[in-house]
Amino acid sequence: INNTHVSEFILTGLTDSEATQRILFMLFLLIYLMTVLGNAVMMLIIRLDLQLHTPMYFFLSHLSFLDLSYSNVITPKTLGNLLTSTRYISYMNCFTQIYFFVFLAGTECFLLSSMAFDRCAAIRSPLRYPIVMSTRSCCSLVFGSYLIGFVDSFFTVLCMSRLDFCDSNVIHHFFCDISPILALSCSDIQSTEIIIFILAVLVSYIFILATILRMNSAKSRLKAFSTCGSHLTVIVIFYGTLFFMYVQPKSSDSFDTDKMASLFYTLVIPMLNPMIYSLRNKEVKNALTRTSSIAYGSSQGRG
């Protein structure tokens, strides 16, 4: 059957147990609300506090926006499927979901690389840092991240839209992801491009670690690790999950493992990122305190 005859797909979801579905719905709803609140608060604090108008927090505000956006691409549909027995998704909606997910996740990958470059510049050339990471440079890096994400998602969906589906339209997943869609196709398409992409981006972080370890004094290395600690934590979690997801050998049992990994990087990581940056960062804590104090003072003044 050619893909032009496929009008809809069926998502198998996470479980067939109604009791488990209700539990998962409550859990995922809580995670989703925390994700929305955490990332919205991060963007608001960075916007309102002038002391956070620096390159690092400029990138961080966009990271929060991307986490919030691609969580919205996946989670509402997943929550809806957990509440109903209908797990159908139209061909157009499925590929729309793939497009936005690849666009936002791909943009986040390159944005994280830009953040790595920013931290590397701060460590290697602290005196030239304001020049290297000027407003124009930061905007160019962010624009470039979105542009590359757009191009990546466009060609990914363009290639996948040409696939032939032979025997089934059942997607063994809880959303339209690349790997389970490819598994349905008769076409000989591999995910090696994604693996190469991930490995290429990791070079940036190897460079950061090498820069830190070449520093002469232990005090300098400790300060550098402190500066990059939150970012490196996010990198290890994000890329570690993706690496596990796409590099593991595919088998009949691997899709259940893929679901667990997908849950982590589509639901949990967007919730964790603002927590990691806020709990490990004194500047964010101080900004949150200042913003809360100003808001409290304003409410008292009106009262």
C-alpha dihedral over 158, 160, 162, 167, to 10 degrees?
-160
pLDDT tens per residue, range 167-206: 678 888 888 887 788 777 776 555 434 544 554 455 445 5
What is 3-302's CATH number?
Answer: 1.20.1070.10
Domain boundaries, the chain: 3-302
pLDDT higher than threshold 80 for residue 149: yes
Check pLDDT > 70 for residue 130. Answer: yes
What pLDDT does 192 receive?
39
How much is the pLDDT for 69? Answer: 93
Arithmetic mean of pLDDT, 91-120 = 84
> Of 272 and 59, which is predicted with more confidence?
59
Rounded to an integer, the average pLDDT of 151-155 is: 82
> What pLDDT, in 10s, does the model give residues 222-278?
555 554 555 556 666 665 666 655 555 555 455 566 777 778 778 888 888 787 776
Contact partners, residue 82, CB within 8 Å, separation at least 6: 13, 14, 21, 22, 24, 25, 28
| Number of continuous H segments (helices) and E segments (strands) in the chain | 11, 3
Q: pLDDT by residue (tens digit) across 157-167?
A: 887 777 777 76
| Averaged pLDDT score across all residues of the chain | 75
The model's pTM: 0.77
